[in-house]
């Protein structure tokens, strides 16, 4: 894992992190509003948005683990 982190530049992580978090939040909101109309469509959308947000948070954690000497 550390080897892969060395290959990723901090700017690349930054450019992926915030679109994942905000895009996930948007998808999550669409899913929540869809659940009231059709639960079979809404819940997968909610889960997808939640996974996108979790990936963004994971990238924040990974970025914190990269030391300045590795960046």
pLDDT at residue number 24: 98
Contacts of 70 (CB under 8 A, 6+ apart): 5, 6
The two three-digit tokens of residue 43, written as one number: 């819940």
pLDDT, one tens digit per residue, over 6-32 is 667 777 888 899 999 999 999 999 999
pTM: 0.82
Q: How far apart are the first and last CA of the chain?
A: 15
pLDDT at residue number 5: 58
Domain residue ranges of the chain, discontinuous segments joined by +: 17-65
Residue 36, pLDDT > 80, answer yes
């Amino acid at each position: 894992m550390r080897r892969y982190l060395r290959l990723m530049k901090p700017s690349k992580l930054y450019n992926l992190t915030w679109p994942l978090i905000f895009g996930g939040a948007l998808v999550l909101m669409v899913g929540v509003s869809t659940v009231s109309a059709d639960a079979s469509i809404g819940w997968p959308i909610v889960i997808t948005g939640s996974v996108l947000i979790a990936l963004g948070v994971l990238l924040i954690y990974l970025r914190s683990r990269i030391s300045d000497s590795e960046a």
